[in-house]
Amino acid sequence: MKGLYFQQNSPGEEISFVFQERENLPDIKDNYVKLQVKACALSWINIKLLSEMKLEKEFFPVGREIAGVVLEVGNKVSFFHPDDEVVGILPLDSEESGLCEIVRIHEHYLVHKPEKVTWTEAAGVIRDGIRSYTALHFLSHVSPGKSVLIMDGASAFGTIAIQLAYHRGAKVISTAYSLEDKQYLERLRPAIVRVIDVSNGKDDVTESCLEETGGIGVDIILDAGVRLYSKNDEPALNLQLLPHKHDIITLLGVGGHWITTEENLQLDPPDSHCLFLKGATVSFLNDEVWNLSNVQQGRYLCILKDVMEKLSTGVFRPLLDEPVPPYDAKVSMEIVQKNQARKKQVIQF
C-alpha cells in the first residue's frame, strides 16, 4: 500500500510531496485499532513546529484528519469494535499517513462518527472544530452577549469559528478579504452582525468595530495573522490586508481576549502597557497542545465528541470543496501547503 509523505532536503527549501510504498502494519495489539480509511482531510503542515519538536525525518507522513471503519482491535481496546465508524486525528509523531487505505492508530485518538454524518464531513470538520473550541471555549470563554471579531470568516476555519460563537450566543463581526468572501459571509444564517470588507481599503477594521460596539471595543478577537510592521515594510500583498497589531489592541475592550495565530508576535512596551491598562490577555492558538500531554486526553476526547455532535445536529456546516480522489492528493496537498485553498480539501477513498 502507498501513502503520501513530504520530503525536505535542506532547511528553508520548499518541501516536495511523494507517494511511498509503506511497510506492512505491525500486529494490532494492546490499545491499537486497525482502520480502513474512508476520507482524509488536508491541512497546512507546520514544518517549523516539527523541527522544534525534533520530529525531522527523511520522509514525513501527510494527512492526519481521518474517518473510517474499524477492521480489527487490540486485546486492550475498550471503546471500539470491528465495523464501528470512527473519526479522529493522527498524533503529530505518528508514523502513519492518513492518505493510505489502512492505518494503525491508538484508540485514545478516536471517537465514534454519528450515522447521519458523511465521511468527508467528519474528516473535514474535526481539525477546525478542535481549533475553534480551543480558541473560543478554553482560551477566551465565549458566552452569551459577548462580541467576537473573527478575522477571515470565509475560510474553512473561520466558518466553523463563527458557527460556534453564534451557538454560544455571541455577537459576531467578521472581516472579508474579497467580494466573494463578503457575499458568502452575508449569506450565512443566522446573520453576522457586521461584515467588514478590507479588500478595497475603504473600510477600517478598528473604526468599524468601535462603531459597532458603541466605542466600548470587542470582547474577543480571533485573528488570522497580523502585521508586525507598517504596510510599506511588509513585502507580500496578502500581508497588507491583515490588521496591524496596534489596531487589534486598540479595538480590544476592557478585560478582552486576543487569540492570535501569529507564532512570532512581538509586543513593544507601549503595546504591553495598553493591554495592562485594559486588563486584556493575549493567547496563542496552537491546537497541537492537546496531544502533547496525556493529562488533557479526556478533555480532548470530549471536544472531539462534541464537535461530531454539533456536526450531526447542523450547528456546524463546514466549508468543504468537492471530494478529491486519492490519485490527486499530491496536487491538492501542494495547493494547501501554499495556502491557496479557501475551502477544506478532503480526499475520499
pLDDT in tens, 223-238: 998 888 766 655 555 5
Supply the DSSP symbol for 232.
Answer: G
pLDDT, tens digit (0-9, with 9 covering 90-100), for 54-65: 776 778 889 999
Q: Does residue 107 have a pLDDT over 80?
A: yes
Q: Report the percentage of the chain scoring pLDDT > 70.
A: 95
pLDDT, tens digit (0-9, with 9 covering 90-100), for 273-319: 999 999 999 999 998 888 777 778 888 999 999 999 999 999 999 99
Q: In 3D, which of 281, 279, 283 has the Cα closest to residue 263? A: 283
pLDDT band at 333 (very low <50, low <70, confident <90, very high): very high
Q: In 3D, which of 336, 320, 338 has the Cα closest to residue 328? A: 336
Q: Which residues of 138-175 are buried (b: 16+ CB within 10 A; e: fewer)?
A: ebbebeeebbbbbbbbbbbbbbbbbbbbbebebbbbbb
Report yes or no: 6 and 59 within 8 Å, Cβ to Cβ.
yes
Task: Report angle CA 12, 16, 17 to the nearest 5 degrees.
Answer: 145
Structural domains of the chain, with CATH: 2-124+294-348 (3.90.180.10), 144-284 (3.40.50.720)
Distances (CA, A) of 17 to 34, 294, 326, 329: 25, 31, 13, 9
H runs (alpha helix) in the chain: 47-52, 119-133, 156-167, 179-187, 205-212, 237-240, 245-251, 269-278, 297-312, 329-337
Q: Does residue 94 have a pLDDT over 80?
A: yes
The total of other beta-carbon atoms located within 10 Å of residue 341's CB is 19
Q: Which helix (H) or strand (E) holds 63?
A: none
